Amino acid sequence: MATDTNNWVSRIRSGDPRALARAITTVENRAPESLELLKALFPHTGHARVIGMTGAPGAGKSTLVDQLAKEYRKENKTIGIIAVDPTSPYTGGAILGDRIRMQSHYSDPGIYIRSMATRGSLGGLAGATTDVAAVLDASGRDLVLIETVGVGQDEVDIVRLAEITVVILVPGMGDDVQTIKAGIMEIADIFVINKSDREGAERVEREIRAMQSLSTRSDNWTPPIVKTVATDGHGVPELAKAIASYQDFLRTHNLSLRKKVQNWQERLVEMLRQSLLERVLREHMADGAVSRYAAEIAEHKRDPYSLVEELVAKLGRP
């Protein structure tokens, strides 16, 4: 078993795409062997630069991420893209778009794209995404780009776990539509105004500046605003430069490690929460106990708050 895992890890690290694909699926589904695999991969992580990119639906995230990946390919960097999109147009367009997209990179083994369209798994989408990023990191990718629509808390959690967070806005869609998660403006290390050839780009820029004048970051970094037109690649080299500047800033001020410690604090609590529940369900709840309790609560024979107190108090007693 351990030998199998070691062999698997070697194949992942040598760049075998099938071994990598199987590892990602295993981790995403929290399959039984995922824990051993993640433990074995962990010593090989920590080298990739993880960049989170988020914005409103329709902001052109996928196109921009693709263009940025191509830009990095010019420097011979290898890239892993994790596209997390739990929203989908009800016509099913997203999945189709995704397939077209994967084909366009098919011939370049230096870009590996993986979609995570589902909630991921028991441990939550943010946890699953971080673990998938760790697999890509361990496989030797220089950069991992995580792309997600910035609308739900899950998605904010995902980009917060990246080293660098890019928030993508677009002009001229109206206030109704420029709807992103409250709090997402605050986590941006870099702003992109995509589709910046449209009317209203200056207004978006003014609004970002106005917001920035109201708040200061604890690290004193002022997030730059980069204007792009992702469809023709305009502004993409400037975005790569802005990312490199922020990386230099993190290095110069010794902030990378601090950010990683903060992230691991949250991740650790989340992992603990999930593992504790699994142990209790396994050891202290007989088959069907949860549904029997739920029926008693629904029939008002029992209050759920006292029940949970009792169950937690019982924990660890023989």
- With contact defined as beta carbons under 8 Å apart, do 226 and 206 qualify? no
Q: Which of residues 85-124 bind a second copy (CB under 8 A)?
A: 86-91, 93, 117-119
| Nearest to a second copy of 105, 195 (CB atom) | 195
Q: Which of residues 252-281 bind a second copy (CB under 8 A)?
A: 257, 260-265, 267-269, 271-277, 279-281
Q: Which of residues 212-251 bind a second copy (CB under 8 A)?
A: none
- With contact defined as beta carbons under 8 Å apart, do 4 and 33 qualify? no
Structure token digits, residue 226? 């980069």
| Nearest to a second copy of 80, 123 (CB atom) | 123
Distance CA 56, CA 58 (A): 6
DSSP result, 30-70: T-TTHHHHHHHHGGG-S-SEEEEEEE-TTS-HHHHHHHHHH
Which of 62, 60, 80, 69 is closest to 17 using CA atoms?
A: 80
Q: Which residue has the tokens 């099938």?
A: 18
Tally Cβ neighbours within 10 Å of residue 209: 12
**140 lies in the site for a second copy, by CB under 8 A:** no
User: At closest approach, how far in Å is the CB of 238 from a second copy?
Assistant: 22
**31 lies in the site for a second copy, by CB under 8 A:** no
User: At closest approach, how far in Å is the CB of 28 from a second copy?
Assistant: 15
Select from 179, 216, 231, 245 the one that contacts a second copy (CB under 8 A). Answer: 179
Give the number of residues in contact with a second copy, rule: CB under 8 A. 79
CA angle (30 as vertex; 27, 32 as ends), nearest 5:
105
User: At closest approach, how far in Å is the CB of 34 from a second copy?
Assistant: 9
Q: Taking contact as CB under 8 A, which single stretch among the options 7-15, 223-231, 239-247, 288-296 is the one that binds a second copy? A: 288-296
Q: Taking contact as CB under 8 A, which single stretch among the options 3-11, 145-153, 216-224, 226-234 is the one that binds a second copy? A: 145-153
**298 lies in the site for a second copy, by CB under 8 A:** yes
User: At closest approach, how far in Å is the CB of 56 from a second copy?
Assistant: 9
Beta-bridge partners for 308? none
